[in-house]
Amino acid sequence: MIEAQIYKALGDPVRLQIITRLAAGSPYTIGELSKNLGISRQGARKQLQVLVSANLVHLSQKGRETEVVLDTDKLTIAKQFITNIEQQWDLRLQALKDFVENNPTKK
Amino acid sequence: MIEAQIYKALGDPVRLQIITRLAAGSPYTIGELSKNLGISRQGARKQLQVLVSANLVHLSQKGRETEVVLDTDKLTIAKQFITNIEQQWDLRLQALKDFVENNPTKK
DNA sequence: TATTTATGCAACCATTTGGTTGCATAATGT
DNA sequence: ACATTATGCAACCAAATGGTTGCATAAATA
């Protein structure tokens, strides 16, 4: 279950907020991104690091600033996992339905 | 960010394993499901509870057994969130591409 | 050159998490 | 009736998490 780390990284409101902002309005610097999250800059930086470690974003140094860039590959993997689960589940429900239809309760 | 709780619940290999098994071969009882996860029954039960609390699965009492059923609604919400992020991100990339094309670097 | 700005690093702290063991109990099987 | 099975509940524990503050430093600006 490699996906666990990705979901874990997504499993925090501050981090989801960061992802949302990045998708909407990059490029962002660490400093900008750390504002208005309700926590300190260093607090925000730690959350950002979780996203970096999960490869959901990457950083690129620009002079004294650091640009934060969204990386959608891992998001796609996470989405694919859910799609697969849903698909298997639907197959099962369909199989169950077929079974019921072919084996009517005797009156 | 309501999705955070869902992702958090998905963010553990044992819990992903449980979800995967449920999608593949329900109905499962708590006892069956707790086997072969590499942890104790009570340990597995605690992980299962996390999924219940996040409404990813629900339980239904059957005599002395408890049936565990997958609930795909929350999964769908989680998937939708990712889809939205990807979409916004693609829009941005496209806008950036257009900008570059209409503003060629002067030779 | 002096100051401000963007950032990093580390120590610290309370709470949550992921696991354990031990014991209780209600439903089922013999 | 007795034993077994499926489960719940609670206490406990180490490690991880989510936050803080304080201090250091390199780059940009005045």
- Is B107 a domain residue? no
CB contact A1 to B (< 8 Å): yes
- A16-62 pLDDT tens trace: 999 999 999 877 999 999 999 999 999 999 999 999 999 999 999 99
Residue A26 confidence (pLDDT)? 73
Mind listing the pLDDT tens digit for each residue in B43-75?
999 999 999 999 999 999 999 999 999 999 999
Assign residue B94 the CATH number of its domain: 1.10.10.10
Is A94 a domain residue? Answer: yes
| Residue-number span of the structural domain to which B41 is assigned | 3-102
The answer to whether the beta carbons of residues A60 and A66 sit under 8 Å apart is: yes
Query: Residue B48: is it exposed, middle or buried by C-beta count within 10 angstroms (0-12/13-18/19+)?
Result: buried
DSSP H helices, B27-72, are: 30-34, 41-53
The distance (Å) linking the CA of A25 with the C1' of C16 is: 33
Number of domains in chain A: 1
Say if B77 falls within a structural domain: yes
Evaluate whether residue A107 is within a structural domain. Answer: no
Q: Is the CB of B41 under 7 A from strand D?
A: yes
CA–CA separation, A40 and A18 (whole Å) = 14
B8:A13 CB<8 A: no
Q: Which of residues 12-71 of A touch strand C (CB under 7 A)?
A: 29-32, 41-42, 45, 59, 64-66
Q: Decide if pLDDT at A7 tops 80.
A: yes
